[in-house]
Amino acid sequence: MQALSATPLRLSERRILILKWLLHGVSFSWVAYVFFTAVTDQVAGDPVDRLLHFTGMGALNLLLLSLAISPVAKRFRAANLIKLRRPTGLWAFSYALLHLATFVLFELQLEWALIGTEIIERPYITVGFSAFIILLLLAATSITAVRRRMGRRWQLLHNWVYVSAPLVVIHFYWSVKSDVVEPVVYGLLVLVLLYVRRERLRKIFRG
C-alpha cells in the first residue's frame, strides 16, 4: 500500500513502550478478572460458556488487531508501530491457548477419549484446532534467535497467519446456532485486512 500521509507520524520509543504496556495490562487484567469471577462463582449462569466466549472473541480480536498493525503503520508512516505486532500476536495465541484449555479442562473436564473424537469429528472444532496449530507454530518461532536461524523459511511459515484468520472466522460461523450476523461482520473485516495486502498475497500465491 502507498504511504498516503505527507508527514511521517513519528512515535517516540516512549510512546511505543506505553502502548506496549497498555496492551499487556489490558490483555492480562481483563482475562484474569474474567477467570477470577468464573472460579469464584460470580458469573451469571454458566461460567464455562462465559470463558469460551470471552477467550474465543478475545483471541479473534487480538489476531485481527495484529493483522491491522502493518497496514496502519504504512498508512500513517509510523514505522515503529510494527514493534507492537509481535506482542499482539503472542497475546492472540495466549487467549487461544486459554480458550483451548477452557474447552479441555472445564467443558470436557479431561475426558480424553472425547477430546480426540471431538477434534476429528466436529468440523468446527477441527477448523478451530487447525487455526490453533498455526498460531502455536507462529508463537513458537517468534523468538528473535529462532527467527534469525530460520532465515527465509521464517517468512514462509509466518505467511500462514493469512490462513489462520479465515479459519477462525469459519470456526466462529460454524459454532453459533443461528445468530450469524457477528461472524459475518468478522468475515468482512478479515476480507478487508486481506484486501489491503492483496499485492503481497498475490506474490505469495505465485510462489
Q: Which residues lie near other proteins (CB under 8 A)?
A: 35, 38-49, 51, 106-109, 111, 114, 117-118, 122-124, 174-175, 177-181
Q: Alpha-carbon distance 132 to 38, whole Å?
A: 24
Residue in 11, 34, 60, 193 binding ligand HEM, rule: CB under 6 A: 60
Of residues 103, 138, 170, 196, which one binds ligand HEM by CB under 6 A? 103
Q: Quick one: which segment of 13-21, 38-46, 54-62, 141-149 binds ligand HEM (CB under 6 A)?
A: 54-62
Burial of 124 (0-12, 13-18, 19+ CB in 10 A): middle
Smallest separation, CB 104 to other proteins (Å): 12
Give the three-state DSSP class for 11: coil
Question: Collapsing DSSP states into helix, strand and coil, what is residue 58?
Answer: helix
Extract the runs of DSSP E, i.e. beta strands, from the chain: none
Q: Which residue lies nearer to other proteins by CB, 122 or 158?
A: 122
67 in contact with ligand HEM (CB under 6 A): no
Give min distance, CB of 83 to other proteins, in A.
Answer: 35
Quick one: 48 exposed, middle or buried, by C-beta within 10 A (0-12, 13-18, 19+)? middle
